[in-house]
Structure 1
Amino acid sequence: MTTLRLEGISASHPRTPVLHDIDLTVASGTTTAVLGPSGCGKTTLLRVVAGFMRPDAGTVRLGDEVVAGPGTWVPPERRGFGYVAQEGNLFPHLDVAANISYGLPRAERRGHARVAELLEVVGLPADLGRRRPDQLSGGQQQRVALARSLARRPRIVLLDEPFSALDPELRVATRDAVATALRHEQATVVLVTHDHAEALSFADQVAVMHGGRLVQVGAPSEVYTTPSDRRSAVSLGEACFLPGVLEDGAVRCALGRLTAPGASGSGPCEVVLRPEQLVLGPVAPGTAHGVVTRTEYFGHDALVELRLDGDGAPVLRARLTGTSPPVAGEAVSVTVRGDAHLLAAPAAG
């Protein structure tokens, strides 16, 4: 296992800056998901780590070794990483066993012991080793690609949106199998993705990227519940934004007086709430209330859009469980479960 450290990484394509002063540490044996929209620099960052691209500035360290930095450049084949691309990129003319063992020392290729071990690790039956890639499902191909990347016991495993081409159900099953395999191998992993659910469920650490910069890095629960700004909040899922006023350690907004732990000072601020924090019920005295404008029902839960009463009142979205969500036109009360998070708090004092 190896710790990955990026220090002050900047990189550009010809005449176009892409990465700006990136600092990131991926602890040995952990998984970090780099999350952001298309074009924000995620894949470029992965290419810099892999050695497919030289940074303009900064240092890449694998453990105690500098592999990229001023006056230092270690080529990709000597960095000891495993790489899984979006499409898997298996060799079509080789069977599964040959794909996995490609690049192993000849003795290990002949014995097939490592191949059998890896097929078991990624949750595939041993008899799949004789099949060609075109005889496998998309999920099976991605598991074989992961097995191939793990075959040489790499220091770092790099995953470039490896599940995005799969249908939703297969994506979840394949993601779970891959996560289990990586934990078994105690691998140090960097995943790039634009899927917030994937990042939050797959990783020990999430790094949110926008415009070639990391805007927030932290544990999944931390970045979700306490986003650093609007970009980070929206990247991680549905969010409700409300203007508020901070006073006496709490914030007043259209939903009433909400607790805001750690907030200090007084004055205007912006509040962010997640849809699952909004609790809807029958209209009752002393609560905020509004009218449902639309309901999206998904079976396991529903997203309910509502407009609060009053001129210029905001439109909010609440996430509800249960089989009978309110319908358009229904009047409801709105209360808040848990604490509010302030995106723009007034200065202390």
Structure 2
Amino acid sequence: MVEGSVAVTVPADGRSSAGWSVRVAAVGRTRAGERVLDGFDLTVAVGEIVAIVGPSGCGATTALRVIAGLERADTGTVSIADGLSTAAVFAHTAVPRFGRVGEAVAIVSRRAGHPDPDARARELCGLLGLSDPEAATHRLARGDRRRVLLARALASEARILLLDDPLDGLQNYERAVLRDRLVEHLRDRRITAVWVTRETSEAAAVADRIAVMVRGRIAASGSPEDLFRHMGDPAVAAVLGPVSTVPGIVEDVTVDVWGQDVPLAEAGPDGHCEVIVRPDQVVLVGPTEPGVDAVVQETRFLGNMRLTQVRAQDGSVVQIEHSVEDRVAPQAPVRIALATSAVTVRPLG
């Protein structure tokens, strides 16, 4: 049995007449005196891929386990649309210890009623990069065990997949290849997925919508582009990546930052504010260009770019992503500016 699977009849086209596959409302869950989920709400449309990201301990895995029926919610409701089956892959889901890879996948396909389970198993092994279906499952490396778990979940022909960090244990290149293959398969078959990940870049690459989870509830959700462009909540911004705040003054639909008039992502009240900026929104500029003087505090080489931290003349500390060709040294004077079409601000006072 695939962990979290529900044996129900699936409509021929995999559609739900309700338009949604999963609906979670006001779910609360307390464990050992700690409130793990606190008003957790989530609705996932048919065929939609929703990625949940959040800091360690935010409750994302618990939310997934509640949706899968592996933990009981103290309050609230969890609804799965009629006729839709689920399959789940969790971090500690075990691969069958005895037998062969192909057999481990084919047995699930057979239970799902596939007319040729062995052929389906070979297809899924090829899709997910399991080059040797005859390999013994108990000898598999960690990354290949994850591939087998994913293959078994797909073999169940479930219309809803609940995935807890499904690419964990894979190297970067393998992870990217498997991610793209898996997402293509989900989209081709209009399979709904709730995908928990610690990597915001992975969430942005796979999801139609990202849900940011903070302290047991969804703090913000939207398309990847919308979320990264509108980071008004500092807690949400911190989840989506390193951010800095710099002083600014809002006037009408622009904000004055370092002598630059920058459009606002969302209109706000006039007056002093904090501007939330990501490292990719700040650039090094020439000494006579608009911006502000700064001093380099530290710089790191990250392979395809450098990440440099500077202290601006106004006292704000910001990080900058820039080309490896732009070499700077600690204590060196530089000039920085905002290079973005719109920013998010937080009013002061």
Is the contact between residue 276 and residue 346 of structure 2 (CA under 8 Å) also seen in structure 1? no
Q: Which amino acid aligns with 2:158?
A: P
1:152 alignment counterpart: 156
In structure 2, relative to structure 1, the CA distance for the partners of 1:109 and 1:133 (3 Å cut) is farther
Match of 1:216 among 220, 225, 243: 220
Is the contact between residue 264 and residue 345 of structure 2 (CA under 8 Å) also seen in structure 1? no
Please give the TM-score of this superposition, normalised by the length of structure 2.
Answer: 0.86
1:326 alignment counterpart: 328
Alpha-carbon separation, structure 2, partners of 1:279 and 1:255: 15
In structure 2, relative to structure 1, the CA distance for the partners of 1:185 and 1:119 (3 Å cut) is farther
Q: Which amino acid aligns with 1:90?
A: V
In structure 2, relative to structure 1, the CA distance for the partners of 1:286 and 1:124 (3 Å cut) is closer
Match of 2:283 among 279, 284, 305: 279
1:31 alignment counterpart: 49
1:82 alignment counterpart: 87
Alpha-carbon separation, structure 1, partners of 2:190 and 2:136: 29
**Residues 284-339 of structure 1: CA distance to partner in whole angstroms, max 9, x if unpaired?**
165311122211111211111111125xx111111112433322233222121123
Is the contact between residue 266 and residue 346 of structure 1 (CA under 8 Å) also seen in structure 2? no
Is the contact between residue 216 and residue 227 of structure 1 (CA under 8 Å) also seen in structure 2? no
Question: Structure 1 residue 118 and structure 2 residue 136: aligned?
Answer: no
Is the contact between residue 88 and residue 153 of structure 2 (CA under 8 Å) also seen in structure 1? yes
In structure 2, relative to structure 1, the CA distance for the partners of 1:33 and 1:24 (3 Å cut) is same
Question: Structure 1 residue 173 and structure 2 residue 177: aligned?
Answer: yes
Mapping for residues 114-263 of structure 1, pairs under 5 Å: 114-125=120-131, 128-254=132-258, 256-263=260-267
Superposed CA RMSD: 2.4
Percent identity, please: 31
Question: Structure 1 residue 288 and structure 2 residue 274: aligned?
Answer: no
Alpha-carbon separation, structure 2, partners of 1:28 and 1:216: 20
Alpha-carbon separation, structure 2, partners of 1:27 and 1:320: 38
Alpha-carbon separation, structure 2, partners of 1:153 and 1:326: 54
May I ask how many residue pairs the two structures share in their alignment? 330
Q: Which amino acid aligns with 1:201?
A: A
Alpha-carbon separation, structure 1, partners of 2:117 and 2:230: 51
**Residues 182-227 of structure 1: CA distance to partner in whole angstroms, max 9, x if unpaired?**
3343321111122222212221111111110111011111111212
2:79 alignment counterpart: 61
In structure 2, relative to structure 1, the CA distance for the partners of 1:346 and 1:133 (3 Å cut) is same
1:267 alignment counterpart: 271
Is the contact between residue 36 and residue 42 of structure 1 (CA under 8 Å) also seen in structure 2? yes
Partner SS for 2:327: coil
Partner SS for 2:303: coil
**Residues 226-278 of structure 1: CA distance to partner in whole angstroms, max 9, x if unpaired?**
12411111111121211222113221234543221431431222211111111
Partner SS for 1:328: coil
Alpha-carbon separation, structure 2, partners of 1:197 and 1:188: 20
2:339 alignment counterpart: 337
**Residues 39-58 of structure 1: CA distance to partner in whole angstroms, max 9, x if unpaired?**
11111100111001121222
Which piece of structure 1 moves more, 98-107 or 287-296? 98-107
Is the contact between residue 230 and residue 265 of structure 2 (CA under 8 Å) also seen in structure 1? no
Alpha-carbon separation, structure 2, partners of 1:175 and 1:105: 26
Is the contact between residue 5 and residue 24 of structure 1 (CA under 8 Å) also seen in structure 2? yes
Partner SS for 1:157: strand
1:98 alignment counterpart: 103
Residue segments in structure 1 that go unaligned for 5+ positions in a row: 66-78
In structure 2, relative to structure 1, the CA distance for the partners of 1:104 and 1:163 (3 Å cut) is closer
Alpha-carbon separation, structure 2, partners of 1:92 and 1:272: 50
1:74 alignment counterpart: none
Partner SS for 1:129: coil
2:3 alignment counterpart: none
Is the contact between residue 260 and residue 340 of structure 1 (CA under 8 Å) also seen in structure 2? yes
Is the contact between residue 86 and residue 163 of structure 1 (CA under 8 Å) also seen in structure 2? no
Is the contact between residue 35 and residue 199 of structure 1 (CA under 8 Å) also seen in structure 2? yes
